[in-house]
Amino acid sequence: MEGGGPSGSHAGDQPLPASAPIRFYGVVPRTVCDHLTDNVQPIPPAGLCASDPCGSCGDTRENWLCLKCYQVHCSRHVNGDAQRHRDREGHELVLSYADLSVWCFACDSYINNPITHSAKQAAYLSKFGEMSPEEAVSAAVSATDADVER
């Protein structure tokens, strides 16, 4: 008989934490990575532009931003220039302009670490024209913090 509720698939066994990490294609990102300190530099003062083309081939479809030198290169699904940049320069951490995930070539894994959050926030801002809700809150807090009244 169709229309009955699913039986035996009660999904309440493992409560999700309030801040469950975003899942990328079912892969849970690592939170620690030995390459973060050496391969993540502060965002350029001019900010980020999520529509920047690949610096090598000019493709705009699916690009990665190097978090060390802030050059933009296309994914392996296009011409593989991000991989080539990593092989040539040894810069391990990249941020996807497609889904704002961070990838470490050396770890061969997605990374979710606070060190990369400001770059993600800047990319989100460029992509959507506004801050992501949670980032906006923390930015407002730190702005109030820094903006000491005089």
56 binds Zn ion (CB under 5 A): yes
CB proximity list for 91: less than 8 A, separation 6 or greater: 39, 66, 67, 68, 69, 85
User: Nearest distance from residue 102's CB to Zn ion, in Å?
Assistant: 10
Q: Are 49 and 43 in contact (CB under 8 A)?
A: no
Sole window of 8-16, 77-85, 95-103, 136-144 interacting with Zn ion (rule: CB under 5 A): 77-85
Query: Which residue, 53 or 139, is less far from Zn ion as judged by CB?
Result: 53
35 binds Zn ion (CB under 5 A): yes
Q: 3-state class of 95 per DSSP?
A: strand
Q: What are phi and psi of 126, to 5 degrees?
A: -70, -35
Closest C-alpha to 108, from 27, 22, 20: 27
69 binds Zn ion (CB under 5 A): yes
Query: Which residue, 60 or 144, is less far from Zn ion as judged by CB?
Result: 60
Q: 3-state class of 28 per DSSP?
A: coil
User: Nearest distance from residue 26's CB to Zn ion, in Å?
Assistant: 20
Q: Which residues bind Zn ion (CB under 5 A)?
A: 33, 35, 54, 56-57, 59, 66, 68-69, 74, 79, 81, 89, 91, 104, 106-107
